[in-house]
Structure 1
């Protein structure tokens, strides 16, 4: 494989691994928020922000961890037929199916980007008592779709290398 493609795969894999490892620790922040919510409710002074903040943190946890999950192949897959294929057969199947994934991620990235720009321009706020601005979480979602798209290109390059008998 050309050095530029190998460098791309290594860069994207390293970036998504670091971001995924960071996202993994967001679970502790979610737990801290929920504990704070529980404590404040016990003293009859519930915080308005805890439910939404926990939801936003969960979205960040899920979305920022998704590219790493895609990279490490821990995503859910129907292995009825796929699991019986040889390594090269799986790579050939993945070469065709990754284009469906890339199309889906492209559409989602387009929609997420439009929604983020709108949210930023209009200073969109969640219609609740706390009324947090929404552009930060929408930016994280857009970034995540971009990282997943980059990771799917990395997977395509790996699968083509496997079909050529090379390893990256």
Structure 2
């Protein structure tokens, strides 16, 4: 494979690793926020109205940021009835077909999320709650993570083609 493709795969894989590390660290933010909510609500009898919503936003960010890392490390769910019996080249062929379905799906999701982000910006969309937070940051993160997932999907295309050519990219 040409050097530019190998560099692309290396850079996108590093971005996905960084995204996964960031997603994993969000668990601590969620635990701390829920612990704060439990203590203030039950011990101090001073409810913190924003804690649950912040945890929901953090959980959404966790899922968004974990997507590229999951793709990179091939840790997504798949039916293994046929796949486990295939050779490495057979797996690469099947993966090359299915990754294009993923790219189509991610493209549709990206178009919808961009539209949703534009609407949120135009209307200053907020959650209807006591805290009333803006949804723009989480929608912007969704767009960014879908772009990163698309980049990782194209990285997978290059990896599968390299495997079929007999020169795998690690």
Q: Distance in 1 between matches of 2:83 and 2:149?
A: 22
Q: Scaled by the length of structure 2, what TM-score is found? A: 0.97
* 2:24 aligned partner: 24
Q: Which residue of 1 aligns with 2:112?
A: 111
- Asked if residue 125 in structure 1 is aligned to residue 126 in structure 2, the reply is yes
Shift of 1:31: 0.1
Residue by residue, what CA displacement relative to the aligned partner does 1:71-130 show, whole Å, maximum 9, x if unpaired? Answer: 001111111111110111000000111110000000000101111111112111001111
Q: Does 1:50 align with 2:51?
A: yes
- For 1:5, the equivalent position in structure 2 comes to 5
CA distance in 2, matches of 1:96, 1:158: 13
State the alpha-carbon separation in 2 of the partners of residues 44 and 142 from structure 1: 39
Partner of 2:154: 153
Cα shift at 1:151: 0.4
| 2:78 corresponds to | 77
- Whole-angstrom CA distance in 2 between matches of 1:20 and 1:139: 18
- Residue matched to 1:34: 34
Cα distance between partner residues in 2 of 1:62 and 1:25:
12
Please give the root-mean-square deviation of Cα atoms over the aligned residues, in Å: 0.7
Q: Which runs of 5+ in 2 are unaligned?
A: none
Displaced runs of 4 or more, over 2 A: none
Shift of 1:164: 0.3
Secondary structure of the residue aligned to 2:81 is helix
CA distance in 1, matches of 2:146, 2:84: 27
